[in-house]
Amino acid sequence: MLQIGLLGLGVVGSAVARGLRERASELDQRAGMPLVLRRVAVAHPDRPRQVPVERDRITDDAWAVVRDPEVDVVVELIGGIEPARSYVHEALRLGKSVVTANKQLMANRGRELMEAAEASGADLFFEASVAGGIPVIRTLKESLAGDRVREVVAILNGTTNYILTRMDEDGLSFPEALSEAQRLGFAERDPTDDVEGHDAAAKLAILASVAFNTRVVRSDVHCEGIAKLTQREVAYTRELGFALKLVAHARDLGEAVEAAVYPALLTSTHPLASVRREFNAVWMRADGAGELLLYGRGAGGEPTASAVLSDLVAVARNRRAGAHGRVACTCYHRKPVREAGERVLAACLVLRVTDRPGVFAQVAAAFGDEQVSLHSIVQQNRGEEADVLLRTHPAPERALRAVLHRLHAMSVVRGCSPLLRVIA
């Protein structure tokens, strides 16, 4: 049998404990052995809980769980880098396999931990760390092992996608949509990580590492959030036929890779354009398979537990076959991660400008001076200040950012939206 030590019994941990109980017979047959929850470490062992775990299996001593000689595999659901890193490291050092849902840990300390796993011949699985119930890590490492993935565009944060869907479909403002998401449990009380794109950036670092076989860490990922978006940008760009989404975008350029999170405009036929509410999706382009899309629930206790339980079955199957470490670290390249300065994309911008003759010319000059060709400038309303929607032809990222810099310095420009890159 496979004896499990569980660290953390929150929403995901409880769903894992329930799954082990309710699906015991199926898991047993698939794994070739019973999966048994031996010990659980939590911060408050005496808190009442609706989980099928006997009180005497619960402790507040995570080290005791990690070092229990009867524990074969440690499931880490604490989150954050420390002390999770120390526990995972110790478990691996002791030759135990580890299953984690911890995106911060894998995005920041993935290399060190994968090396520790390889050194002791243990498995370190992290399917649940990216996109919850969507099985994208194993798809990249195994199902596409015979292919070459060149590009990934993904919606990896359900909170922001929910907010943008409500702003788009129901005309809510950003603050309105955010409070609703908080009320429904889709957003944290402090929503910074989600709305600033940090959550998606950590997940993209992991995804890009696995997709392109080279290490990408959190700090490599350029990150722009949606906190400054208003109903104006959503409404004006919808009229152009675009869907505004927070996307995680990574490309393998051969000698280097790039990875960034930013609000983007998707053409209405793009498979990601119809991903609504809290759903996540990962679109990929590979040499052989062509375009692929995986769509599903990217968060929540049950979907995330589904990934954890599947990783546990993989650990058991490897144990049974004597094959721990069968698919270990796949980052065999050492490619630099470069700023996306050379990338060529069209973009839209919404400016709030002083409404007087000559302003179009002044604004247009900022684009011309950086060799960015304009597709259209359309004034959206009138008043002392007016909104102007600008749309460029494809131009290098570097030039677009230089334009933004010039616009910010102009006295006629009273406000400027985030840069909205267009993904066709």
Find where tokens 């329930």 sit. Answer: 18
CB of 71 to a copy of itself, least distance (A): 19
CB of 323 to a copy of itself, least distance (A): 4
| Calpha distance 149→285 (Å, rounded) | 6
Whether the bond between 45 and the residue before it is cis, its omega within 30 degrees of 0, is no
| Calpha distance 39→51 (Å, rounded) | 13
Asked if 51 is part of the footprint of a copy of itself (rule: CB under 8 A), the reply reads no
Is residue 203 part of the annotated active site? The answer reads yes
Cβ atoms of 101 and 126 closer than 8 Å: yes
Binding residue for a copy of itself (CB under 8 A) from 4, 292, 345, 372? 292
Binding pattern for the stretch 191-230 against a copy of itself, x by CB under 8 A and - elsewhere: ----------------------x-----------------
Closest CA to 164 of 79, 242, 55, 259: 242
CB of 145 to a copy of itself, least distance (A): 4
Binding residue for a copy of itself (CB under 8 A) from 147, 180, 188, 385? 147
| Calpha distance 168→174 (Å, rounded) | 10
Dump the DSSP string for 258-289.
EEEEEEEEEETTSTTTT--TTEEEEEEEETTT
Binding residue for a copy of itself (CB under 8 A) from 26, 60, 82, 169? 26
Asked if 148 is part of the footprint of a copy of itself (rule: CB under 8 A), the reply reads yes
Binding residue for a copy of itself (CB under 8 A) from 48, 69, 254, 290? 290
| Calpha distance 114→118 (Å, rounded) | 6
**CA angle at 71 for the pair 66 and 77, rounded to the nearest 5°:** 55
Residue number, 28 or 176, with CB nearest to a copy of itself:
28
Find where tokens 């609504």 sit. Answer: 276
Residue number, 314 or 347, with CB nearest to a copy of itself:
314
Binding residue for a copy of itself (CB under 8 A) from 144, 156, 211, 265? 144
Query: Which of 203, 228, 245, 335 is an active site residue?
Result: 203
Asked if 10 is part of the footprint of a copy of itself (rule: CB under 8 A), the reply reads no
Output DSSP code: residue 133.
T
Total interface residues for a copy of itself by CB under 8 A? 61
Distances (CA, A) of 119 to 11, 72, 320, 328, 343: 32, 17, 20, 11, 38
Bridge partners of 249, per DSSP, are: 153, 260
Backbone CA torsion sign across 26, 31, 35, 40: negative
Binding residue for a copy of itself (CB under 8 A) from 2, 4, 15, 107? 15
Site stretch for a copy of itself (CB under 8 A), options 27-35, 68-76, 199-207, 259-267: 27-35
Dump the DSSP string for 218-230.
GGGSEE--STT--
Site stretch for a copy of itself (CB under 8 A), options 1-9, 26-34, 355-363, 390-398: 26-34
Asked if 6 is part of the footprint of a copy of itself (rule: CB under 8 A), the reply reads no
Reduce the DSSP state of residue 324 to 3 states and report it. coil
Asked if 146 is part of the footprint of a copy of itself (rule: CB under 8 A), the reply reads yes
Binding pattern for the stretch 294-333 against a copy of itself, x by CB under 8 A and - elsewhere: xxxx--x-xx-xxxxxxxxxx--xx-xxxx-xxx--x-x-
For strands 279-286 and 290-297, give the pairing: antiparallel
Site stretch for a copy of itself (CB under 8 A), options 21-29, 83-91, 221-229, 406-414: 21-29
**Positions that interact with a copy of itself (CB under 8 A):** 15, 19, 23, 26-27, 29-31, 127, 132-135, 138-139, 142-148, 213, 271, 274, 286-297, 300, 302-303, 305-314, 317-318, 320-323, 325-327, 330, 332
Which residue numbers are catalytic? 203
